[in-house]
Amino acid sequence: MKTLPALLAIATIAVSGPKVIAASLPPPGAASCSGCHATGTASTSSVPRLHGRDAGEITTAMNGFRDGSLPATVMNRIAKGFSDDEVRAIAAWLAAQK
């Protein structure tokens, strides 16, 4: 009977483990965001913090920078370098960072 709790614990870790790992490892391109966007909770910069922001907001903004509907100084050029899949992966990772 002692093996049942152990098996349940292992199953729980196996199921939730990849999500934890996925949230901690940035997808390609995501690490470069911290060059301008603060990663801490307090920021004195006019560049908005991305960690913890809604993934949909990030995706919408990136698409706006790419198509020119949002004004930008450098983000329009940066956003054009990412595919739709890359933008979604980066947005999901940034949203998972709290």
pLDDT surpasses 50 at 11:
no
Query: Is 48 within 8 Å of 36 (Cβ atoms)?
Result: no
What tens digit of pLDDT does each residue of 18-63 get? 445 445 799 999 988 989 998 877 667 889 999 999 999 999 999 9
Q: Which of the following CATH numbers is that of domain 3-96: 3.40.50.10420, 3.30.70.100, 3.50.50.60, 1.10.760.10?
A: 1.10.760.10
Residue extents of the structural domains in the chain: 3-96
CA dihedral sign of residues 54, 36, 32, 34: negative
Task: Record the pTM.
Answer: 0.72
What tens digit of pLDDT does each residue of 55-81 get? 999 999 999 999 999 999 999 999 999
